[in-house]
């Protein structure tokens, strides 16, 4: 009986110690424990067009990373000849995720940087509108 009581006390002590450690981690960074989705580095081919342009018109780019709130799009310099790619521009982006789910969303350009290759642009984009179905499939793709 004494041995059983001693083991019980040890288990309680270990459990409370673990709970204290989790609480300390949560206080240090409260968003870490609540995070359900992550930004993923990917290399997905996509098509995009300015919002309001005809559906037959499209430009080609590559999504390099994506999250539920935004994405980084790499575009060739030739795409910028006829279409503005400045901060504040809105685009309709369509792609197929690696889990074979279609993705269509509207995104606003938040940053424009030069890419690794000459004439290449990196567009930091914030997702402004996404359908519930596309958001759900993107969420499943982004889960750890």
* Interval 98-142: pLDDT, tens: 889 999 999 999 999 988 888 888 999 999 999 999 999 998 888
Characterize the bridge pairing of strands 40-50 and 102-114. Answer: unpaired
* Interval 9-18: pLDDT, tens: 999 999 999 8
CB atoms near residue 125 (< 10 Å): 24
Whether 93 and 107 have beta carbons less than 8 Å apart is answered as: yes
- Residue with tokens 């300015």, as numbered in its chain: 50
Give the global pTM: 0.71
Whether 74 and 120 have beta carbons less than 8 Å apart is answered as: yes
Token couple for 75: 């575009």
Q: How far apart are the C-alpha atoms of 60 and 84, rounded to whole Å?
A: 14
């Amino acid at each position: 009986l004494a041995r059983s009581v001693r083991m019980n006390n040890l288990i309680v002590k270990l459990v409370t110690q673990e709970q204290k450690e989790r609480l300390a981690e949560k206080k240090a960074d409260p968003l870490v424990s609540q995070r359900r989705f992550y930004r993923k580095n990917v290399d997905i081919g996509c098509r995009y067009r300015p919002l309001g342009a005809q559906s037959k018109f499209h430009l080609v780019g590559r999504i390099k990373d994506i999250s539920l709130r935004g994405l980084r799009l790499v575009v060739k310099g030739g795409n910028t000849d006829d279409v503005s790619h400045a901060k504040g521009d809105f685009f309709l982006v369509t792609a197929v995720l690696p889990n074979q789910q279609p993705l269509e969303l509207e995104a606003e350009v938040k940053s424009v940087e030069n890419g690794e290759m000459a004439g290449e642009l990196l567009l930091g984009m914030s997702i402004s509108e996404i359908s519930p179905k596309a958001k759900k499939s993107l969420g499943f793709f982004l889960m750890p």
